[in-house]
Chain A
């Protein structure tokens, strides 16, 4: 086999610029595959970091419009509920008491309820219309967000409807610029709130951006700002994450009791574990990755046709050489293998350069994203490399076999006479 590699390599190295141009299509295709897979890994690391920050061993309790209500409202049947946040129908049954009861369940370490309101926040001449996030003080124990300066609010301040606020990183800069916001008062709606803390930068997560929000005690938000007594959602931190499924069921039972729900189809809440969230995310990511790789595959096919085209040209160019080799004792099989291996080498070179190029590009992307303060791991999955090399070889075989067979079948006399 070594002899075939030697002859194939001689052919390839004879025309370096043509080799480069021939393999360009494969390089781009494989580079794109690597880029997509690496970006997928990076995105996964970003989501994991966000979930970790949110509390990786937690379950989320969302309010949802019950299926039966939704069906009545929309006139169409639905299997499950959909988030009340996405609907015009507010669900008012999820209360602070539910959170207190959840806190008493087995395997629940801590829990908080949260609500959100949009208000104009003013300091000096600067006004911003932003989201005010209200949550129990226990959120500061569960959520991994780092308070860069000052302190979080306490349970006592929550109970006392204290007008204290912790600012997100960006809103603090928007309102105060270079000045220290601690101890200053911002106006939220018609109330003045003392700034007691400022978050370190966190980056956005989905459509929510903690950096542009103001965080105040839930009771203050409910009673003074929104005039409501219910929560939008809750988060429970678990003792043992391995029991998250069971605890999720316990929470659901508890809420059904509290909300007097006897029919499971009329649930006005949804309990989602982080494992379920990750499953959903992975399913979406896999679908998107598959789609992008399918697009990259078009480039690979085009690249393969390019290789085939050049291999036909190479066979024509080397007819005299093929004749000579046959005269010197090369069998049809020898010639077939030489050209097939040359084709495989061409596509593999393209594949390897594509892997290096794709990895390099992924590395640059990771560095750029990381420079924006976002967690984005650079990683090229091993299966991606193995897949790329295998695909390159298969393309080399598929698109090289016909030109190689043509070469092998050449009559040595006719080939020699081409000289």
Chain B
């Protein structure tokens, strides 16, 4: 089992006012799954993704990653897991400004033990169809291309899981379709994809959808016919 959550809760203490965002979430994710986490704003889906992605720790409950209890992992170990095992794709791309496409993709390698940074980053960019944009600055490319750079950056350390938080939220439908295509391709290659979205159509690109409401999983469904976009030519 790659991800095994048991009765996870998350509470925030704001000057003595305790707010519980997650109410005992239990979830199992196998290696190679394509999972969508759906839910309306404020449902706790992003909080859940942050906990699964080791950006945050649960208040209570057990989180086993790759069959290891992560409760007592120090911060540096969590940083290492984020670097080596996990790739993040954010809604607003989060590329470094005034920095080339290539250097943006190299960034995670900076904190890893991997070598041949330029070769790895070039290969990752080629895999998302941006092999010709290496020297472009991050502000010189379109939104769709920015998100593909972000995917290349998530891929560059060859992680087991890719977390995508509303990856099509800031994109037009064509660019969004391209991004979803890439994520499906990565899943086809054996990578686990966990997608957070509030959009049912986007969620149906996955093989499984869990729906969260008020901090609890209210539905866990397998998608028999996941949406498959016809690959479109990049016109960005």
Contacts and interface: CB of A to CB of B under 8 A. Distances in A.
B127 to A, nearest CB: 18
A419 B56 CA distance: 18
B99 A10 contact: yes
B99 A328 contact: no
Nearest to B96: A321
Given A7-B110, A416-B90, A329 B55 contact: no
A326 B110 contact: no
Given A10-B99, A324-B94, A413 B56 contact: yes
A6 B55 contact: no
A328 B111 contact: yes
Name the interface size band of chain B.
20 to 34
B153 interface: yes
Contact of A416 (B55, B79, B83, B110): B55
A273 B96 CA distance: 69
A130 interface: no
A219 B92 CA distance: 99
A331 B55 contact: no
B108 A329 contact: yes
A333 B76 contact: yes
Interface in B48-97: 50, 53, 55-56, 75-76, 79-80, 82-84, 88, 90, 92, 94, 96-97
A325 B88 CA distance: 11
Given A332-B76, A413-B55, A419 B92 contact: yes
Given A413-B50, A416-B55, A6 B79 contact: no
Contacts of B153: 328
A343 to B, nearest CB: 19
B83 A14 contact: no
Given A324-B94, A328-B83, A329-B79, A334 B55 contact: no
A414 to B, nearest CB: 10
B79 A330 contact: yes
B5 interface: no
Interface in A327-341: 327-334
Given A3-B110, A416-B55, A416-B90, A331 B98 contact: no
B76 A328 contact: no
B94 A334 contact: no
Interface in B85-131: 88, 90, 92, 94, 96-99, 103, 107-108, 110-112
A384 interface: no
B94 A330 contact: no
Nearest to A323: B94
A14 B97 CA distance: 9
A320 interface: yes
Contacts of B50: 413
B111 A330 contact: yes
B90 A331 contact: no
B80 A329 contact: yes
Determine which residue in B76, B80, B110, B157 has the highest number of CB atoms from chain A within 10 A of its CB, and name it: B110
A330 B90 CA distance: 17
Contact of A6 (B88, B110, B112): B110
11 contacts: A3-B111, A321-B96, A326-B55, A327-B88, A329-B83, A329-B111, A329-B157, A330-B79, A330-B83, A331-B76, A416-B94
Top 10 A-B residue pairs of the complex, sorted by shortest distance between their CB atoms: A329-B83, A328-B108, A329-B111, A331-B79, A3-B110, A324-B94, A331-B76, A330-B111, A329-B82, A412-B55
Interface of B: 50, 53, 55-56, 75-76, 79-80, 82-84, 88, 90, 92, 94, 96-99, 103, 107-108, 110-112, 153, 157
Given A10-B103, A413-B50, A419-B92, 9 more contacts: A6-B110, A10-B96, A10-B99, A324-B96, A326-B55, A327-B88, A329-B83, A329-B157, A331-B111
